[in-house]
Amino acid sequence: MKERAKNKNNKVHKHNLNAKSKNIKTKKNTKVKVKSYSKNGDKSGVKKIDKKAFIIKYKKKTIMLVLIIIILTLLIFAFYKILYMHRNNNIFAQNAEKIQDDLDNPIFKIERILLYSDANVEDLSENQNLSNINISQFTDFAIYINNTETITELTEENTVNNLYIDNITVSGTDFGSQKVFYKDINDICKYRKIDTGTNRIDFKVLHTNEEKASNEDENVFYTDCTDPIILSYVNENIVKNEDLSTSNEKMALDGSILRNLGIDLEDLNYKISFTINIENNLGEMYKCNCSLNVNLDSDDGGIYTGYIMQIYNLDENNFKFRKIQ
Protein backbone atom coordinates (compact mmCIF):
# COMPACT_ATOMS: atom_id res chain seq x y z
CA MET A 1 0.00 0.00 0.00
CA LYS A 2 2.81 2.39 0.92
CA GLU A 3 4.56 1.71 -2.39
CA ARG A 4 1.38 2.48 -4.37
CA ALA A 5 0.93 5.80 -2.55
CA LYS A 6 4.56 6.70 -3.24
CA ASN A 7 4.21 5.99 -6.98
CA LYS A 8 1.07 8.07 -7.07
CA ASN A 9 2.83 11.02 -5.47
CA ASN A 10 5.67 10.79 -7.98
CA LYS A 11 3.22 10.94 -10.89
CA VAL A 12 1.54 14.03 -9.43
CA HIS A 13 4.96 15.71 -8.97
CA LYS A 14 5.93 15.06 -12.58
CA HIS A 15 2.61 16.43 -13.79
CA ASN A 16 3.21 19.64 -11.83
CA LEU A 17 6.68 19.97 -13.33
CA ASN A 18 5.31 19.68 -16.85
CA ALA A 19 2.66 22.28 -16.10
CA LYS A 20 5.21 24.75 -14.74
CA SER A 21 7.60 24.27 -17.62
CA LYS A 22 4.84 25.16 -20.06
CA ASN A 23 4.07 28.33 -18.19
CA ILE A 24 6.39 30.50 -20.36
CA LYS A 25 5.32 34.02 -21.36
CA THR A 26 6.77 35.55 -24.59
CA LYS A 27 6.49 39.13 -25.65
CA LYS A 28 8.36 41.27 -28.14
CA ASN A 29 11.41 42.92 -26.64
CA THR A 30 10.87 41.19 -23.26
CA LYS A 31 13.06 38.87 -21.35
CA VAL A 32 12.20 35.20 -21.73
CA LYS A 33 12.77 32.90 -18.78
CA VAL A 34 13.24 29.24 -19.42
CA LYS A 35 13.00 27.08 -16.32
CA SER A 36 14.55 23.69 -16.22
CA TYR A 37 14.67 21.38 -13.33
CA SER A 38 16.62 18.36 -12.51
CA LYS A 39 14.95 15.25 -11.37
CA ASN A 40 15.35 16.29 -7.76
CA GLY A 41 13.75 19.73 -8.41
CA ASP A 42 16.97 21.79 -8.42
CA LYS A 43 16.43 25.25 -10.07
CA SER A 44 20.11 25.91 -10.80
CA GLY A 45 19.60 25.28 -14.55
CA VAL A 46 17.58 28.46 -15.28
CA LYS A 47 18.80 30.34 -18.50
CA LYS A 48 17.97 33.90 -19.56
CA ILE A 49 18.09 35.14 -23.28
CA ASP A 50 17.99 38.90 -24.19
CA LYS A 51 16.60 38.98 -27.77
CA LYS A 52 17.35 42.69 -28.36
CA ALA A 53 20.96 42.31 -27.27
CA PHE A 54 21.27 39.25 -29.46
CA ILE A 55 20.07 41.19 -32.53
CA ILE A 56 22.37 44.15 -31.80
CA LYS A 57 25.32 41.81 -31.37
CA TYR A 58 24.49 40.08 -34.66
CA LYS A 59 24.25 43.42 -36.50
CA LYS A 60 27.61 44.55 -35.12
CA LYS A 61 29.28 41.37 -36.31
CA THR A 62 27.69 41.78 -39.76
CA ILE A 63 28.86 45.40 -40.02
CA MET A 64 32.36 44.42 -38.95
CA LEU A 65 32.44 41.68 -41.57
CA VAL A 66 31.28 44.07 -44.30
CA LEU A 67 33.90 46.64 -43.27
CA ILE A 68 36.63 44.01 -43.33
CA ILE A 69 35.56 42.92 -46.83
CA ILE A 70 35.54 46.55 -48.05
CA ILE A 71 38.97 47.23 -46.53
CA LEU A 72 40.41 44.06 -48.08
CA THR A 73 38.90 45.00 -51.46
CA LEU A 74 40.41 48.50 -51.26
CA LEU A 75 43.79 47.08 -50.28
CA ILE A 76 43.74 44.64 -53.20
CA PHE A 77 42.70 47.44 -55.60
CA ALA A 78 45.45 49.73 -54.28
CA PHE A 79 47.99 46.93 -54.63
CA TYR A 80 47.10 46.28 -58.27
CA LYS A 81 46.99 50.03 -58.94
CA ILE A 82 50.52 50.39 -57.61
CA LEU A 83 51.65 47.44 -59.74
CA TYR A 84 49.96 48.94 -62.81
CA MET A 85 51.57 52.37 -62.25
CA HIS A 86 54.93 50.75 -61.66
CA ARG A 87 54.58 48.77 -64.88
CA ASN A 88 53.55 51.89 -66.83
CA ASN A 89 56.46 53.85 -65.38
CA ASN A 90 58.83 51.11 -66.52
CA ILE A 91 57.30 51.11 -70.00
CA PHE A 92 57.50 54.93 -70.16
CA ALA A 93 61.14 54.87 -69.02
CA GLN A 94 62.00 52.21 -71.60
CA ASN A 95 60.24 54.16 -74.38
CA ALA A 96 61.94 57.41 -73.35
CA GLU A 97 65.29 55.64 -73.35
CA LYS A 98 64.54 54.17 -76.78
CA ILE A 99 63.51 57.57 -78.19
CA GLN A 100 66.66 59.18 -76.83
CA ASP A 101 68.74 56.38 -78.31
CA ASP A 102 67.06 56.93 -81.68
CA LEU A 103 67.91 60.63 -81.44
CA ASP A 104 71.50 60.01 -80.40
CA ASN A 105 72.03 57.27 -83.00
CA PRO A 106 69.59 57.96 -85.84
CA ILE A 107 69.28 55.50 -88.72
CA PHE A 108 68.09 58.37 -90.95
CA LYS A 109 68.47 62.10 -90.49
CA ILE A 110 68.23 65.22 -92.63
CA GLU A 111 71.80 66.38 -93.03
CA ARG A 112 71.17 69.63 -94.91
CA ILE A 113 68.61 71.45 -97.03
CA LEU A 114 69.58 73.60 -100.02
CA LEU A 115 67.15 76.39 -100.99
CA TYR A 116 67.14 78.25 -104.29
CA SER A 117 64.68 81.17 -104.51
CA ASP A 118 63.92 83.20 -107.62
CA ALA A 119 61.08 84.82 -109.55
CA ASN A 120 59.61 84.03 -112.94
CA VAL A 121 58.16 86.51 -115.39
CA GLU A 122 55.52 85.25 -117.82
CA ASP A 123 54.79 87.54 -120.78
CA LEU A 124 51.20 87.07 -121.96
CA SER A 125 51.22 89.90 -124.54
CA GLU A 126 50.76 88.98 -128.19
CA ASN A 127 53.91 90.68 -129.41
CA GLN A 128 55.95 89.86 -126.29
CA ASN A 129 56.51 93.51 -125.39
CA LEU A 130 55.83 93.06 -121.62
CA SER A 131 52.49 94.82 -121.85
CA ASN A 132 50.78 91.99 -119.97
CA ILE A 133 52.94 90.05 -117.54
CA ASN A 134 52.36 87.77 -114.56
CA ILE A 135 55.06 87.23 -111.94
CA SER A 136 55.47 84.19 -109.70
CA GLN A 137 57.98 83.49 -106.98
CA PHE A 138 59.41 79.98 -106.52
CA THR A 139 61.77 78.16 -104.18
CA ASP A 140 63.32 74.74 -104.82
CA PHE A 141 64.27 72.54 -101.85
CA ALA A 142 66.97 69.86 -102.10
CA ILE A 143 66.68 67.71 -98.97
CA TYR A 144 69.72 65.50 -98.30
CA ILE A 145 69.20 62.44 -96.09
CA ASN A 146 72.13 60.88 -94.25
CA ASN A 147 71.66 57.13 -93.73
CA THR A 148 75.25 56.11 -92.88
CA GLU A 149 76.00 58.03 -89.68
CA THR A 150 75.03 55.17 -87.35
CA ILE A 151 75.36 52.23 -89.78
CA THR A 152 78.24 52.86 -92.19
CA GLU A 153 77.46 49.96 -94.53
CA LEU A 154 74.27 49.70 -96.57
CA THR A 155 71.89 47.20 -94.97
CA GLU A 156 68.18 46.49 -95.02
CA GLU A 157 67.88 48.69 -91.94
CA ASN A 158 69.31 51.90 -93.44
CA THR A 159 67.99 51.63 -97.02
CA VAL A 160 64.61 52.87 -98.21
CA ASN A 161 61.77 50.67 -99.45
CA ASN A 162 58.96 53.23 -99.36
CA LEU A 163 58.92 57.03 -99.16
CA TYR A 164 56.19 59.65 -99.05
CA ILE A 165 55.72 63.21 -97.80
CA ASP A 166 52.46 64.37 -96.23
CA ASN A 167 51.01 67.07 -93.96
CA ILE A 168 52.28 69.73 -96.37
CA THR A 169 51.21 73.22 -95.27
CA VAL A 170 52.23 76.77 -96.17
CA SER A 171 51.46 79.78 -94.01
CA GLY A 172 52.58 83.36 -93.50
CA THR A 173 51.69 84.97 -96.85
CA ASP A 174 48.42 86.07 -98.39
CA PHE A 175 49.95 87.01 -101.73
CA GLY A 176 49.29 84.86 -104.78
CA SER A 177 48.44 81.17 -104.86
CA GLN A 178 50.81 78.73 -103.12
CA LYS A 179 51.55 75.21 -104.37
CA VAL A 180 54.06 72.52 -103.38
CA PHE A 181 55.00 69.58 -105.60
CA TYR A 182 57.78 67.17 -106.61
CA LYS A 183 60.43 68.30 -109.06
CA ASP A 184 62.97 66.21 -110.93
CA ILE A 185 66.58 66.83 -109.93
CA ASN A 186 67.38 67.89 -113.51
CA ASP A 187 64.83 70.73 -113.25
CA ILE A 188 66.16 72.26 -110.04
CA CYS A 189 66.65 76.06 -110.14
CA LYS A 190 64.25 76.25 -113.07
CA TYR A 191 60.69 77.55 -112.94
CA ARG A 192 58.05 74.94 -113.54
CA LYS A 193 54.37 75.67 -113.78
CA ILE A 194 51.87 73.18 -112.39
CA ASP A 195 48.09 73.28 -112.29
CA THR A 196 47.55 72.03 -108.75
CA GLY A 197 49.60 71.43 -105.65
CA THR A 198 49.18 68.52 -103.28
CA ASN A 199 49.11 67.66 -99.59
CA ARG A 200 50.90 64.33 -100.16
CA ILE A 201 53.71 63.29 -102.49
CA ASP A 202 54.43 59.60 -103.06
CA PHE A 203 57.78 58.44 -104.45
CA LYS A 204 58.83 55.52 -106.60
CA VAL A 205 61.85 54.01 -104.84
CA LEU A 206 64.52 52.79 -107.26
CA HIS A 207 66.93 50.01 -106.32
CA THR A 208 69.10 50.15 -109.46
CA ASN A 209 70.20 52.84 -111.92
CA GLU A 210 68.57 50.89 -114.74
CA GLU A 211 65.14 51.53 -113.24
CA LYS A 212 65.49 55.27 -113.80
CA ALA A 213 64.91 55.05 -117.56
CA SER A 214 61.58 53.24 -117.17
CA ASN A 215 60.33 55.63 -114.48
CA GLU A 216 61.08 59.05 -115.97
CA ASP A 217 57.60 60.36 -115.25
CA GLU A 218 57.57 59.15 -111.65
CA ASN A 219 58.57 60.91 -108.44
CA VAL A 220 61.73 58.87 -107.95
CA PHE A 221 64.11 58.34 -105.03
CA TYR A 222 67.02 55.93 -104.72
CA THR A 223 66.98 53.30 -101.99
CA ASP A 224 70.52 54.21 -100.84
CA CYS A 225 69.63 57.94 -100.42
CA THR A 226 72.31 59.04 -102.90
CA ASP A 227 70.12 61.75 -104.47
CA PRO A 228 68.25 64.41 -102.48
CA ILE A 229 64.49 64.77 -102.29
CA ILE A 230 63.48 67.68 -104.54
CA LEU A 231 60.42 69.76 -103.70
CA SER A 232 59.30 72.95 -105.35
CA TYR A 233 57.25 75.76 -103.85
CA VAL A 234 55.53 78.16 -106.25
CA ASN A 235 53.62 81.28 -105.30
CA GLU A 236 51.82 82.02 -108.55
CA ASN A 237 50.65 85.39 -109.78
CA ILE A 238 51.90 87.65 -107.02
CA VAL A 239 51.72 90.23 -109.83
CA LYS A 240 49.02 89.88 -112.52
CA ASN A 241 48.50 91.62 -115.86
CA GLU A 242 51.16 94.24 -115.24
CA ASP A 243 52.13 96.52 -118.15
CA LEU A 244 55.87 97.22 -118.31
CA SER A 245 56.01 98.13 -121.98
CA THR A 246 56.29 101.85 -121.30
CA SER A 247 58.88 101.59 -118.54
CA ASN A 248 62.31 103.09 -119.22
CA GLU A 249 63.93 101.17 -116.41
CA LYS A 250 66.38 98.43 -117.18
CA MET A 251 64.87 95.24 -115.82
CA ALA A 252 66.01 91.68 -115.54
CA LEU A 253 63.42 88.93 -115.68
CA ASP A 254 64.34 87.41 -112.32
CA GLY A 255 63.85 88.18 -108.64
CA SER A 256 65.18 91.71 -109.05
CA ILE A 257 62.00 92.71 -110.90
CA LEU A 258 60.19 92.54 -107.56
CA ARG A 259 62.16 95.57 -106.40
CA ASN A 260 61.35 97.46 -109.61
CA LEU A 261 57.65 96.88 -108.97
CA GLY A 262 57.89 97.79 -105.29
CA ILE A 263 56.94 94.36 -103.95
CA ASP A 264 57.75 94.14 -100.24
CA LEU A 265 59.60 90.87 -99.58
CA GLU A 266 58.19 90.73 -96.05
CA ASP A 267 54.82 90.05 -97.66
CA LEU A 268 56.26 87.06 -99.54
CA ASN A 269 58.12 85.37 -96.66
CA TYR A 270 56.46 82.14 -95.59
CA LYS A 271 56.66 79.06 -93.41
CA ILE A 272 56.54 75.58 -94.94
CA SER A 273 55.93 72.41 -92.95
CA PHE A 274 55.77 68.76 -93.96
CA THR A 275 56.41 65.23 -92.70
CA ILE A 276 58.83 62.82 -94.41
CA ASN A 277 57.87 59.17 -93.95
CA ILE A 278 60.39 56.38 -94.62
CA GLU A 279 59.86 52.65 -94.53
CA ASN A 280 63.12 50.69 -94.61
CA ASN A 281 63.63 47.25 -96.14
CA LEU A 282 62.85 45.63 -92.76
CA GLY A 283 59.37 47.14 -92.78
CA GLU A 284 60.21 49.64 -89.99
CA MET A 285 58.66 53.12 -90.19
CA TYR A 286 60.48 56.40 -89.52
CA LYS A 287 59.07 59.94 -89.44
CA CYS A 288 60.62 63.40 -89.48
CA ASN A 289 58.52 66.55 -89.04
CA CYS A 290 60.11 69.49 -90.84
CA SER A 291 59.32 73.16 -90.50
CA LEU A 292 61.25 75.96 -92.21
CA ASN A 293 60.84 79.73 -92.17
CA VAL A 294 61.83 80.94 -95.63
CA ASN A 295 63.02 84.57 -95.70
CA LEU A 296 63.48 86.09 -99.13
CA ASP A 297 64.98 89.29 -97.73
CA SER A 298 68.43 89.67 -96.18
CA ASP A 299 71.02 92.34 -95.43
CA ASP A 300 72.66 91.87 -98.83
CA GLY A 301 69.39 92.38 -100.71
CA GLY A 302 68.03 88.86 -100.78
CA ILE A 303 66.01 87.98 -103.83
CA TYR A 304 66.13 91.63 -104.93
CA THR A 305 69.64 90.81 -106.22
CA GLY A 306 68.12 88.34 -108.71
CA TYR A 307 68.04 85.07 -106.75
CA ILE A 308 69.12 83.77 -103.38
CA MET A 309 70.67 80.48 -102.30
CA GLN A 310 70.53 79.31 -98.69
CA ILE A 311 71.97 76.21 -97.02
CA TYR A 312 70.61 74.82 -93.78
CA ASN A 313 73.09 72.50 -92.07
CA LEU A 314 70.94 70.64 -89.63
CA ASP A 315 72.21 69.01 -86.46
CA GLU A 316 69.15 69.63 -84.32
CA ASN A 317 67.08 66.73 -82.96
CA ASN A 318 63.93 67.94 -84.73
CA PHE A 319 65.46 67.01 -88.09
CA LYS A 320 66.20 63.41 -87.09
CA PHE A 321 63.88 60.59 -88.01
CA ARG A 322 62.06 58.88 -85.15
CA LYS A 323 61.23 55.22 -85.37
CA ILE A 324 57.51 54.70 -84.88
CA GLN A 325 57.23 50.91 -85.35
pLDDT for the residue 148: 93
pLDDT for the residue 247: 81
pLDDT for the residue 161: 96
Please check the confidence at residue 306 and state whether its pLDDT lies above 50. yes
Mean pLDDT, the chain, integer: 81
- The larger pLDDT score, comparing residue 196 to residue 278, is at 278
Please check the confidence at residue 211 and state whether its pLDDT lies above 80. yes
Span 41-46, average pLDDT: 50
Please check the confidence at residue 238 and state whether its pLDDT lies above 60. yes
Per-residue pLDDT tens for 258-278?
Answer: 999 999 999 999 999 999 999
Per-residue pLDDT tens for 110-149?
Answer: 999 999 999 999 999 988 888 999 999 999 999 999 999 8
Please check the confidence at residue 246 and state whether its pLDDT lies above 90. no
pLDDT for the residue 315: 66
Q: What is the 3-state secondary structure (H, E, C) of the chain?
A: CHHHHHHHHHHHHHHHHHHHHCCCCCCCCCCEEECCCCCCCCCCCCEEECHHHHHHHHHHHHHHHHHHHHHHHHHHHHHHHHHHHHHHHHHHHHHHHHHHHHHHCCCCEEEEEEEEEEEEEEECCCCCCCCCEEEEEEEEEEEEEECCCCCCCCCCCCCEEEEEEEEEEEECCCCCEEEEEECCHHHCCCCCCCCCCCCCEECEEECCHHHHHHHCCCCEEECCCCCCEEEEEEEEEEEEEECCCCCCCCCCCCCCHHHHCCCCHHHCCEEEEEEEEEEECCCCEEEEEEEEEECCCCCCCHHHHCCEEEEEECCCHHHECEECC
- The larger pLDDT score, comparing residue 2 to residue 320, is at 320
Query: Domain-by-domain residue ranges, the chain?
Result: 23-104, 109-323
Please check the confidence at residue 21 and state whether its pLDDT lies above 50. no
